[in-house]
A = this chain, B = another copy of it.
């Protein structure tokens, strides 16, 4: 244990610095940092801190000084654009004592992009091909701004554009492989499972003895989201086989402990788990969405290859669409309203028939902020999930804002759907565990 502990203490640590006034005025949500953190982690590099600062020279310099005190790798994104507010490149050039020179490969890249767009190049576009003469240039296959790799006092500084797909391309093609050869990195492995129907504090109580007994090189994280809790164990070690064996053993014990609440035992989304089941069995799926307004369809179709098992959705936002396209009875709508068990049952049947699939899921609810009544307050939702053989319905009461109510409904609908599919495929018992 002591050995492992020491190995962890001496492991490579990284900091991320994101640069741009847009990060400080709230214009942009930083999705880059989470992606970079995931990739660093997989590579065996621990992310220590993330700092976001404005396009300000003094602030950039003091942050470079500060972060390089404790981290060996400093990843920098943003501020490489062609406009006057983008100052990262000249500041880095000065910081590392270089001068800006044209990089011929970067210039050819900028020229080819402008040729493809059929746009004339102006002076500030040529400047995109300038780089400090004290860095290794990281070519940008997806945009005009080159990346830069600097080394100083044994620390590595990597500057990349803030545009997500450009940054991701550079990380994957160049930065991560080079970091992996530069350092002798430990192995970091994760195992993740998803639970539903139990709160974070109750799980913690329930698995307390197991958690306390975990060896020091394995850590547990509780990751609650949308009314469910993901449990992730992370292990670090110098021998991949031993590490895998240790993790497998602990993960098996954890799975056994939480089996009554476990939904998925992989680090995949509910919709991916559904897709895997349908792909395996050759079955198909349709959705009929009122209150989720296409969000479930979007979550599903964001999966590459989903067209093999997902046929489509009828987003019946208006009641007349529920009647016309999903064959919901006008009498039902008049008698019990659109947010009712009978309506979602009929929506589901309508989707199965109209889109001719094996499974379907249907949602109807009041997402807010308006539309609530004493009988059916904002957050009231009915969900139906099923097949031609069986239909399950459940009522939920969410109490969040519109956005989160939609996300919660989608997540609970997918969870019901997954259970229904498993029910039929494995003969498992459908459990009404959510409330």
Q: Which residues of A pack against B, CB within 8 Å?
A: 21-31, 33-41, 46-54, 59, 63, 66, 81-85, 117, 119, 122, 124-125, 164-165, 168, 199-202, 204-205, 211, 220-225, 230, 232, 234, 287, 289, 292-298, 300-302, 304-307, 310-318, 320-321, 324-325, 354-356, 368-370, 400-404, 406
Contact = CB atoms under 8 A, between A and B. Distances in A.
A325 to B, nearest CB: 7
Given A50-B24, A54-B48, A302 B293 contact: yes
A122 B201 CA distance: 8
Given A82-B200, A119-B202, A202-B119, A26 B38 contact: yes
B37 A50 contact: no
A33 B36 contact: no
A298 B304 contact: no
A21 B221 contact: yes
9 contacts: A26-B41, A26-B47, A83-B200, A83-B201, A124-B204, A292-B301, A295-B298, A310-B317, A313-B314
Given A25-B41, A26-B33, A83-B204, 5 more contacts: A22-B221, A26-B40, A26-B41, A83-B200, A313-B314
Nearest to A229: B83
A211 B298 CA distance: 40
Nearest to A316: B312
Nearest to A294: B297
Contact of A315 (B26, B124, B222, B315): B315
A205 B321 contact: no
B294 A313 contact: yes
| Closest CB pairs A-B (n = 3) | A293-B301, A294-B297, A26-B38
B221 A356 contact: no
A368 to B, nearest CB: 7
Nearest to A121: B201
Given A297-B315, A298-B298, A27 B221 contact: yes
Nearest to A201: B82
Contact of A211 (B84, B122, B297): B84
A314 B46 CA distance: 45
Given A119-B199, A204-B84, A318 B314 contact: no
A24 B234 CA distance: 13
A304 B82 contact: no
Contacts of A325: 312, 314, 325, 354-355
A140 B194 CA distance: 27
Among A38, A312, A400, max chain B CB count under 10 A is at A312
Nearest to A162: B224
A223 B27 contact: yes
Nearest to A163: B224
A26 B35 contact: yes
Contacts of A48: 24, 53-54, 59
Contacts of A225: 28
Contacts of A33: 23, 26, 30, 52
A84 B211 CA distance: 10
